[in-house]
Structure 1
């Protein structure tokens, strides 16, 4: 059975094979597909992954276009996985997801998580920022946070253009109180998207301002605000925001 044009194996064929031609016995896309599926099956190291692949080799061989009668050794997987381009992999996987998903995601949650399987050069778990579409039940993107020098909101702000280019259907991002920061909110709005961010007592002034603003809000006032924003967007150069001009009394 040959992989179809919209299969994950076909997407992995877009990646550059980092191996030397001499001694190559297995197609790179097939090997990477085995590694990918093995990780999804909770085999975090190459030794257990190789044992799992050996048990299921007839099915894997047919599904992923592998030609050898015997499964490769663990070192074959590790050498192939150590040299390929992460950026190419991200692009191929995101493109494949966008093609096969029945409904393009319109909303996603951003949250930081510590990986239980991935470790850095010092052996410490890697902390990553995930963008998760709950309706589709898939992680659309993830980026490492680093060693504490960067914060999760800063990482998200730095990758907003990349995220919206890969997933143009995204209209709303949600996040907890950590992401309630003006520079990030401004960047999301300037990209033509919306946000739903939690505000807690850790920002008392902002929390009280929001409570006061919503205390007198009515459906009619909300509709009037929405009409005003839409009118601002329809004007040339309009951004929906009302410009305030400061005036001072004329000097005599």
Structure 2
């Protein structure tokens, strides 16, 4: 991931302003915001302050002939930039600098931006659905929905933006839809979908084919993992099978269905009685072994503990109260760009916050991050 590549993709976003009034190029404004967020700036005032202190550095990449825009200009421009065009530019940038590998897990999941809620303007919090490359820890693309329930319609729109050839796309139960499965296959990928009560026929088939009593003595392909952490122990039994008689009719409804899987989890904590076992069900168009099912199901949760956690804890996304126009959505994409850059820099072994602080203090390190 290189700065010239990013700058090139940002430059193609049309400028909505009247040309004779433009003092600061749109690509300069976007690049300034990206660099400032990489270095830990959180609001328009801080981004302006960052720009003034790093003007000579920024001019190595952009024009900045008019100097640094004021915080008011930053707020106004970021609120009016076409969010869909920035969305497309981001996805095209990731296609150019990130190659997906055969069989790699791409996890799709949503996150609500709590700070984008504005009670006074009767504006609900927006919900971003992201595609996350589990192996590389980077965001490949994202789309906005008005609320979590709209993930069903957002996921196909997100899939359109991505290069997924040969990948295994994992989605939670919200995205367990026939149209979503067909769209994933159309992109040259395989799907692994979690199954819950929103698909009652599938649930009934799983309950009939894999009752608890039979799982305990399961003679097919099985794989066990055991995880201990801070006084808690969780043992997971993974079972994978070709679809059985119970799924025969459903296999015609779900395109490409080849594997059905079950994960049975037992959790115990020190000083507490063991919890009841939990069952999770999966369908997949890939021929998965129980071990591969275990790995893919586990990697799906990377989107929670490696993406959403980083956005909230390191980049303080939920604390951001900016909600004017398209600003919340556009800033969410800028955070994804910044996070991709920070995760892509591996010479310094610190966490995201330490990398941000080091980049703010050391321009050579910031240049290293931008060079990717």
Q: TM-score, normalised by structure 2?
A: 0.49
Structure number, greater radius of gyration: 1
Q: In the aligned structure 2, how far is the partner of 1:171 from the partner of 1:134?
A: 11
Check whether the contact 1:6–1:99 (CA below 8 A) recurs between aligned residues: no
CA apart distance, 1:206: 3.9
CA apart distance, 1:174: 0.6
When structure 1 is superposed on structure 2, of 207-216 and 120-129 the one drifting more is 207-216
**Total equivalences in the alignment:** 218
Check whether the contact 2:128–2:145 (CA below 8 A) recurs between aligned residues: yes
In structure 2, do the counterparts of structure 1 residues 25 and 194 end up closer, same or farther at CA, with 3 Å as the change threshold? same
Q: In the aligned structure 1, how far is the partner of 2:256 from the partner of 2:183?
A: 15
Does residue 1:35 correspond to 2:36, yes or no?
A: no
Which of residues 87, 91, 102 is equivalent to 1:94? 91
**2:291 aligned residue:** none
CA apart distance, 1:74: 0.8
**1:74 aligned residue:** 71
Runs of at least 5 residues in structure 2 that lack an aligned partner in the other structure: 223-239, 245-254, 258-372
In structure 2, do the counterparts of structure 1 residues 134 and 85 end up closer, same or farther at CA, with 3 Å as the change threshold? same
* Higher-strand-fraction structure: 2
Check whether the contact 2:164–2:189 (CA below 8 A) recurs between aligned residues: no
**1:114 aligned residue:** 112
CA apart distance, 1:129: 1.4
Does residue 1:176 correspond to 2:172, yes or no?
A: yes
Check whether the contact 2:170–2:192 (CA below 8 A) recurs between aligned residues: yes
Check whether the contact 2:141–2:158 (CA below 8 A) recurs between aligned residues: no
CA apart distance, 1:181: 3.8
Q: In the aligned structure 2, how far is the partner of 1:75 from the partner of 1:51?
A: 13
**2:55 aligned residue:** 57
**1:211 aligned residue:** 210
CA apart distance, 1:136: 2.5
In structure 2, do the counterparts of structure 1 residues 104 and 240 end up closer, same or farther at CA, with 3 Å as the change threshold? closer
**1:84 aligned residue:** 81
Q: TM-score, normalised by structure 1?
A: 0.69
CA apart distance, 1:81: 1.9
Q: In the aligned structure 2, how far is the partner of 1:49 from the partner of 1:80?
A: 13
CA apart distance, 1:73: 0.9
CA apart distance, 1:25: 2.1
**1:143 aligned residue:** 143
In structure 2, do the counterparts of structure 1 residues 218 and 147 end up closer, same or farther at CA, with 3 Å as the change threshold? closer
CA apart distance, 1:201: 8.0
In structure 2, do the counterparts of structure 1 residues 208 and 93 end up closer, same or farther at CA, with 3 Å as the change threshold? same
Deviations 1:2-45 (A, max 9, x none): xx995211211111111212232222211111123333444342
CA apart distance, 1:210: 5.3
**1:155 aligned residue:** 154
In structure 2, do the counterparts of structure 1 residues 240 and 169 end up closer, same or farther at CA, with 3 Å as the change threshold? closer
Alpha-carbon RMSD across the aligned residues, in angstroms, is 3.6
In structure 2, do the counterparts of structure 1 residues 146 and 21 end up closer, same or farther at CA, with 3 Å as the change threshold? same
Check whether the contact 1:126–1:144 (CA below 8 A) recurs between aligned residues: yes
Runs of at least 5 residues in structure 1 that lack an aligned partner in the other structure: 226-238, 242-252
Check whether the contact 1:110–1:175 (CA below 8 A) recurs between aligned residues: yes
